[in-house]
């Protein structure tokens, strides 16, 4: 098969995964839970940049409860954590997240002039080293990384082909990371069209779906303010750059650019470029998430409390992981009940067949 044909195969309809032994150096996670019969559990891991480390806590809490997913659909950072879990590299991604410091995060950023601010090659090499030898169809469980096609807006479910390339395409946040060309298509962050991919998990065969929404706090309280009009008033002087809680590891940049910042504050008094991008992404993702979940709600929804963690606070993994664990533990009784009900229904069908 040519490289082009192999890439195009990612976009074909779903089929039975190939039975191929994984690379010997990788010990995959068992894709089947220890206590269920005939019920496929799907896990939909949402996008949310650094807040996505909460997915690690969710998966740890599930594993401690003896519950393992058969199917994972991930968007953006959800594809990163979900793909590493599916390939048996869960401990690797956990250690990587916990070892990040602001300096180490900066060292991973290869800033350049291109389609995005960051080429992503350094981070991509780390993923390639960890996930070498894996294609999606060889994984021991069903997996899909969600991406968005540039120029058309098509929602692309990457269910075949190179795992690393699928993950990189899924987290290629516009303006930040360069888009990825996969199978003849330019792809970017899947959160633009499906931030919490419940639909993909169900389409891959999940009978029970638990979704993890990383944008459930903060902007979800937005409302409509009716009959509002502005009056002439002085424009207040505001900080032209976002708060350190949002930019996290970029706080040194704030210090280096303080004089320029003050100049812009005096002239314009408007929010800075980075703050506008962050707020626009947060609001858009929240609204799309609520619309998608209303149309296809999961059986169980876990919403980690992450409002105090900025999108780029990758060095705060311990806090995010703790929030993810707590979120799963809150819904664990409901998840166990849903699985038990599904299993009873399955066994009843078996007896009547």
Q: Which residues are catalytic?
A: 76, 189
d(CA 50, CA 296): 26
Contacts of 341 (CB under 8 A, 6+ apart): none
d(CA 82, CA 90): 8
Greatest Cα pair distance in the chain: 76
Q: 68 with 62: CB under 8 angstroms?
A: yes
Contacts of 253 (CB under 8 A, 6+ apart): 247
For 106, the token pair is 């900066």
Burial of 213 (0-12, 13-18, 19+ CB in 10 A): buried
Q: Are strands 180-182 and 185-189 parallel, antiparallel or unpaired?
A: antiparallel
Contacts of 227 (CB under 8 A, 6+ apart): none
């Amino acid at each position: 098969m040519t490289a082009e044909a192999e890439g195009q195969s990612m976009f074909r309809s779903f089929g039975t995964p190939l039975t191929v032994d994984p690379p010997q150096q990788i010990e995959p996670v068992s894709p089947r839970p220890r206590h269920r019969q005939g019920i496929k559990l799907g896990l939909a891991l949402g996008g949310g940049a650094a807040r996505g480390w909460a997915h690690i806590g969710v998966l740890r809490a599930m594993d401690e409860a003896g519950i393992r997913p058969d199917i994972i659909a991930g968007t953006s950072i959800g594809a990163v954590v979900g793909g590493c879990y599916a390939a048996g590299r869960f401990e690797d991604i956990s250690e990587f997240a916990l070892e990040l410091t602001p300096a180490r995060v900066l060292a991973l950023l290869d800033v350049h002039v291109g389609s995005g601010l960051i080429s992503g090659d350094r981070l991509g090499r780390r993923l390639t080293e960890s996930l070498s030898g894996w294609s999606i169809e060889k994984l021991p469980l069903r997996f899909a990384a969600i991406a968005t096609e540039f120029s058309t807006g098509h929602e692309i479910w990457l269910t075949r082909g190179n795992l690393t390339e699928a993950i990189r395409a899924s987290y290629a946040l516009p303006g930040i990371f360069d888009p990825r060309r996969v199978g003849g298509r330019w792809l970017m962050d899947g959160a633009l069209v499906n931030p919490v991919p419940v639909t993909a998990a169900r389409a891959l065969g999940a009978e029970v779906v638990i979704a993890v929404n990383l944008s459930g706090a903060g902007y979800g309280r937005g409302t409509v303010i009716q009959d509002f009009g502005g009056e002439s008033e002085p424009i207040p002087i505001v900080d032209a750059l976002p708060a350190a809680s949002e930019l996290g590891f970029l706080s040194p940049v704030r210090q280096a650019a303080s004089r320029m910042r003050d100049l812009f504050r005096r002239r314009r008094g408007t929010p800075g470029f980075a703050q506008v991008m962050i707020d626009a992404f947060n609001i858009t993702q929240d609204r799309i998430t609520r619309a998608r979940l209303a149309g296809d709600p999961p059986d169980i929804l876990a919403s980690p409390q992450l409002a105090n963690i900025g999108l780029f606070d990758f060095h705060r993994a311990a806090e995010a992981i703790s929030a993810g664990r707590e979120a799963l533990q809150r819904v664990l009784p409901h998840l166990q009940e849903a699985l038990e009900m599904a299993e009873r229904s399955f066994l009843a069908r078996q007896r009547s067949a």
